[in-house]
Structure 1
Amino acid sequence: MIHFENVGLRYGLGPEILRDITFDIPASSFQFLTGPSGAGKTTLLKLLFLSLKPTRGLIRMFDRDIASIPREDLPMLRRRIGIVFQDFQLLDHLTTYENVSLPLRVRGKEEHTYRSDVIELLKWVGLGQRINVLPPVLSGGEKQRAAIARALMDQPEILLADEPTGNVDPPMARRLLGLFRELNRQGTAVLIATHDFALMDQVDARRMILSDGRLEIYS
């Protein structure tokens, strides 16, 4: 599904943040991305979401070389990728329900085709009583769960999650991990960036460790 080969990235004339990154993400796979703060995990996720382009190396996604993809084709490709960043990116003037259903509305789907699914998912992530609340009223953990629900609504082929359990208590972290695992069983590839070793120990999955701009992989 995704192939990186000798990928490097630098900002301007500065030193390389990522160096000689090579790995594959097979369809329906599950992996963790970990490493010290500042190692470049979020930058790598942005490369995977096509919001950054590498300064060198090859990236192939869904059988296409991203260097040759026209700019106007990128939004369609991103629809195949679900992503949860640490800043949540919720729109403050939309309710929890409206934020989570936004990807479907953008695609032109009629509300009657998805309303029950959105409400069911919000209940599953513990936001059943917060459906009509605006983001400024939500706690950090509630915003995180709303962002996760939004990323899942479009049934992505791959889910990228940056510290998805960082603002929730251990029981909710286990519940969210169960949601990711169920999504994976249904065929979605999952990559979770995390510092939480207790979380990683709950799943027999590949670990990719990013340190000093380089990546090591342990199956």
Structure 2
Amino acid sequence: MIRFENVGLRYGMGPEILRDITFHIPPKSFQFLSGPSGAGKTTLLRLLFMSLKPTRGLITVFGKDRAGIAQRDLPALRRRIGIVFQDFRLLDHMTTYENVALPLRVRGKEEMSYRGDVIELLKWVGLGERMHVLPPVLSGGEKQRAAIARALIEQPEMLLADEPTGNVDPPLARRLLRLFIELNRSGTAVVIATHDLALMDQVDARRMILANGRLDIHD
């Protein structure tokens, strides 16, 4: 699905943040991206989501060279990748339902065509009773699940999650992990950036460890 070959990234004339990053994301795979705070995990996710361009190296996304993808073609490719941001990025003036449905509304879809799907997805993540609530009323865990639902509403082929269990208690972290496992079993590739070793120990999955700008992979 995505392949990195000797990818490097620097900002301006500063030192390289990422150096000689080489790996690939197979379809329907599950992997953790780990490393100390400040190692560049979020930056690597942004490269995967194509919101950043590398300074050097080759990134291939769904068979296309990232360097050759026109700006107008990026939205269609990004719709094949769901992303859950660390800060959720929910809109406080919209209900949970409206936040999850937003990507479809932006594309101009009629509500009748997606209402059932949004409601079913909210029930799947345990928010069926909270769909008409505004984000400020939601708990941290509920906001996290709403963000996950929004990332999944367009049925992406790959999901990127940036520290999805960083602000929740251990029982909720396990519940969120089960959601990701179920999603992966349904055919979606999953990449979870986390520093939670206890969480990673619960799944037999590939670990990509980022440290000092380099990536070490443990299958």
Would the TM-score normalized by the shorter structure come out above 0.5?
yes
**Amino acid across the alignment from 1:192:** I
Query: Within 1, Cα distance between the matches of 2:120 and 2:171?
Result: 19
Using the aligned pairs only, state the percent identity.
81
Map Cα deviations across residues 29-74 of structure 1 (whole Å, 9 max, x no partner).
1100000000000000000011100000000000000100111111
The alignment status of 1:149 with 2:149, answered yes or no, reads: yes
Instruction: Give the structure 2 partner of residue 206 of structure 1.
Output: 206
- C-alpha displacement of 1:145: 1.4
Query: Within 2, Cα distance between the matches of 1:21 and 1:199?
Result: 24
Query: Within 1, Cα distance between the matches of 2:168 and 2:127?
Result: 13
Instruction: Give the structure 1 partner of residue 218 of structure 2.
Output: 218
The alignment status of 1:77 with 2:77, answered yes or no, reads: yes
Report the CA distance shift for 1:117/1:170 in structure 2 as closer, same or farther (over 3 A). farther
**Mapped contact 2:33–2:193 kept (Cα < 8 A):** yes
Residue pairs, 1:57-68, within 5 angstroms = 57-68=57-68
The alignment status of 1:109 with 2:113, answered yes or no, reads: no
- Superposed CA RMSD in Å reads 1.3
Is 20-29 or 175-184 further displaced after alignment?
Answer: 175-184
Query: Within 2, Cα distance between the matches of 1:20 and 1:121?
Result: 39
- C-alpha displacement of 1:207: 0.2
Is 68-77 or 132-141 further displaced after alignment?
Answer: 132-141
Residue pairs, 1:7-46, within 5 angstroms = 7-46=7-46
Query: Within 1, Cα distance between the matches of 2:198 and 2:158?
Result: 23
Gaps (5+ residues) in structure 1?
none
- C-alpha displacement of 1:171: 2.3
In structure 2, the residue corresponding to 1:155 is in which secondary structure? Answer: coil
- C-alpha displacement of 1:141: 2.2
**Amino acid across the alignment from 1:85:** F
Is 140-149 or 150-159 further displaced after alignment?
Answer: 140-149
Map Cα deviations across residues 109-133 of structure 1 (whole Å, 9 max, x no partner).
3222322332232233232232112
Instruction: Give the structure 2 partner of residue 48 of structure 1.
Output: 48
Query: Within 2, Cα distance between the matches of 1:35 and 1:127?
Result: 31
In structure 1, the residue corresponding to 2:53 is in which secondary structure? Answer: coil
Query: Within 2, Cα distance between the matches of 1:30 and 1:147?
Result: 19
> Please, what TM-score do these two structures have when normalized by structure 2?
0.95
**Amino acid across the alignment from 1:87:** D
Query: Within 2, Cα distance between the matches of 1:78 and 1:47?
Result: 11
**Mapped contact 2:141–2:172 kept (Cα < 8 A):** no
- C-alpha displacement of 1:192: 0.3
Instruction: Give the structure 2 partner of residue 94 of structure 1.
Output: 94
**Amino acid across the alignment from 2:122:** L
Runs of 4+ in 1 over 3 A off after TM superposition: none
Instruction: Give the structure 2 partner of residue 137 of structure 1.
Output: 137
**Amino acid across the alignment from 1:129:** E
Query: Within 1, Cα distance between the matches of 2:121 and 2:196?
Result: 24
**Amino acid across the alignment from 2:138:** L
Aligned residues: 219
Gaps (5+ residues) in structure 2?
none
- C-alpha displacement of 1:23: 0.2
Query: Within 1, Cα distance between the matches of 2:103 and 2:23?
Result: 29
In structure 2, the residue corresponding to 1:114 is in which secondary structure? Answer: helix
